[in-house]
């Protein structure tokens, strides 16, 4: 088929590679004129790496990635370790693929390079899909330039504020979660206290932070979430002040505050939650990734769920004779899993923010014991997530 893809982020580019892998002709339309996303780190768990292995881009991604030694949780102020679960060899042995930390821009560049090496004209930058029209045999996408392009399938990979979803299902009504997120990066060479070489969750009263390393350990990445009544923009590009970020994490371990102090820029945005969509497709138009199941950032699975979506979508539309039936099969396959991940992320939000000594002891005490005596048990709690391989099904 001739497939049009709205959005050239992680989901859109992976979808293009997967559809090309199954023999389709792909055209990606990305509104940004350059492929340089706002600096941010992402965690690529083994379930996402299985797809990237299958699409032949994992070696390129590994070149710029960081392999964390472990998953761990620490107290935000004291730095006391609650548990420390090995990752490097354990991830491969238990779940069949690497667990990596990657700069978002590096991942997008790797996906882009792999795609244009196969289809040099596949990506159009500075062009945004603003609407679509469909009939039983084709779909036409109108770009913000006024041009109309035609294909047999339109994939809405255009993110949390998806134009394709809005036309398909109307204006959404997201709910403010009462939480604001911070994001920052700093060169490790600028830091006095280097964060652990792990995927570390730092817990505290009504807030938590996550730190990890990128680009072979040369960059330190920080994400912080704070409960707050006043809400900000839901925008990854909105900036906040260093003074406000330091105030939110006053008295915390220097592994956290050091990144805030030395980061060139700090981004702040409000976290919103959304109801499950009634459907993901409309004739020959279909949604994927954040356009249909945006994730709160408490399981580190937003990008990986889009990567999984991409492969399943490509497989389903390649194996069914009827396209609308294939899109329904894709939704039936993906919706239970993405809904479970969304629910898990919501649950973690409260787990990380225990607000008084009694609830902290009752929650983190057993976790500390399990981390010392039953590391395999903690690994097993992630089997459903990290051990899932969509390329096998």
Name the residues annotated as catalytic: 212
In angstroms, rounded to a whole number, what is the distance separating the alpha carbons of residues 389 and 30? Answer: 28
On whether the CB atoms of residues 29 and 4 are closer than 8 A, the answer is yes
Q: Which residues of 248-266 are buried (b: 16+ CB within 10 A; e: fewer)?
A: bbeebbebbbbbbbbbeeb
Residue 63: CB partners within 8 Å, gap ≥ 6?
A: none
Burial 369-388 (b: 16+ CB within 10 A, else e): ebbeeebeebbeebeebbbb
Q: What is the DSSP letter of 33?
A: S
Contacts of 125 (CB under 8 A, 6+ apart): 8, 30, 32, 33, 34, 35
Place of tokens 């005490």: 365
Determine the number of helices (DSSP H) and then strands (DSSP E) in the chain. 13, 18
Structure-token pair, residue 185: 């990066």
**Residues whose CB falls within 8 Å of the CB of residue 50, separated by 6 or more in sequence, listed in order:** 96, 97, 389, 390, 391
Distance between CA atoms of 108 and 90, rounded to whole angstroms? Answer: 27
Burial class (CB in 10 A: 0-12, 13-18, 19+), 171: exposed
* Cα–Cα dist 185/384, whole Å: 31
Taking alpha carbons only, the member of 245, 265, 260, 193 closest to residue 39 is 265
What is each CA distance from 93 to 98, 197, 248, 299, 323, in whole angstroms? 9, 20, 39, 21, 38
Give the largest CA-CA distance in the chain: 63
Q: What is the DSSP letter of 233?
A: -
Q: Rounded to an integer, what distance in angstroms lies between the CA atom of residue 247 and that of residue 251?
A: 9
């Amino acid at each position: 088929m001739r497939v049009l893809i709205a959005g050239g982020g992680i989901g859109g580019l992976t979808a293009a590679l997967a559809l090309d892998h199954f023999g389709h002709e792909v055209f990606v339309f990305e509104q940004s004129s350059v492929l340089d996303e706002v600096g941010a780190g992402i965690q690529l768990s083994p379930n996402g790496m299985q797809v990237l292995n299958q699409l032949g881009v994992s070696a390129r991604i590994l070149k710029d990635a960081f392999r964390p030694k472990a998953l761990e949780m620490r107290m935000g102020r004291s730095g006391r370790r609650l548990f420390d679960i090995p990752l490097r060899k354990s991830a491969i042995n238990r779940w069949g693929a690497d667990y990596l930390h990657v700069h978002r821009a590096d991942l997008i560049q790797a996906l882009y390079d792999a795609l244009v090496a196969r289809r040099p004209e596949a990506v159009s930058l500075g062009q945004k899909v603003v609407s679509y029209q469909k009939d039983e045999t084709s779909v036409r996408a109108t770009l913000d330039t006024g041009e109309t392009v035609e294909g047999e399938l339109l994939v809405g990979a255009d993110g949390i504020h998806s134009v394709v979803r809005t036309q398909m299902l109307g204006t959404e009504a997201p709910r403010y979660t009462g939480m604001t997120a911070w994001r920052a990066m700093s060169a490790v060479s600028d830091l006095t206290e280097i964060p652990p070489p792990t995927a570390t969750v730092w817990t505290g009263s009504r807030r938590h932070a996550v730190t990890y390393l990128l680009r072979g350990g040369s960059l330190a990445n920080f994400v912080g979430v704070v409960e707050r009544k006043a809400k900000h923009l839901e925008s990854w590009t909105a900036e906040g002040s260093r003074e406000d970020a330091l105030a939110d994490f006053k008295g915390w371990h220097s592994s956290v505050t050091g990144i805030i102090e030395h980061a060139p820029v700090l981004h702040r945005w409000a976290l919103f939650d959304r109801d499950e969509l009634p459907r993901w497709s409309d004739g020959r138009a279909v949604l994927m990734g954040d356009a249909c199941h945006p994730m709160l950032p408490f399981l580190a699975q937003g990008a990986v769920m889009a990567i999984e979506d991409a492969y399943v979508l490509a497989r389903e539309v390649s194996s069914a004779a009827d396209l609308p039936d294939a899109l329904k099969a894709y939704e039936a396959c993906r919706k239970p899993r993405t809904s479970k991940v969304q629910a898990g992320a919501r649950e973690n939000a409260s787990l990380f923010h225990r607000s008084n000594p009694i609830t902290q002891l009752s929650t983190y005490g057993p976790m500390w014991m399990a981390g010392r005596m039953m590391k395999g048990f903690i690994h097993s709690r992630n089997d459903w997530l990290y051990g899932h391989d969509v390329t096998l099904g």
